[in-house]
């Protein structure tokens, strides 16, 4: 996972803890050999926040593709 996200295990752990404290994700830790594996899933609050961000980004893109006042002009 560290390679896919370009984050160290400790940085990823800190981010997951922050999202968990905010109620955005739920985690489950289980032993796997000498290490623990962490499984994370979006909580309902996290899903709502994610969907809100996606909707806002779509609106930004739509506004940029179809400006209401036409192309900007320079003075």
- pLDDT means per 10 residues, the chain with 75 residues, are 80 93 94 86 96 96 82 58
Is pTM beyond 0.75? Reply is: no
Predicted confidence at residue 32, as pLDDT, reads: 84
Q: What is the pLDDT of residue 75?
A: 55
Q: Which pLDDT score is estimated for 66?
A: 86
CA 28/CA 36 separation, integer angstroms: 10
pLDDT confidence of residue 16: 93
How is residue 6 annotated by DSSP? Answer: T
Per DSSP, what are the bridge partners of residue 37? 30
């Amino acid at each position: 996972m560290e390679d896919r996200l370009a984050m160290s295990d400790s940085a990823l752990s800190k981010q997951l803890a922050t999202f968990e404290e905010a109620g955005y994700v739920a985690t489950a830790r289980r032993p796997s050999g000498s290490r623990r594996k962490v499984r994370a899933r979006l909580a309902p609050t996290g899903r709502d926040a994610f969907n809100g961000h996606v909707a806002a980004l779509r609106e930004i893109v739509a506004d940029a593709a179809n400006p209401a006042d036409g192309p900007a002009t320079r003075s």
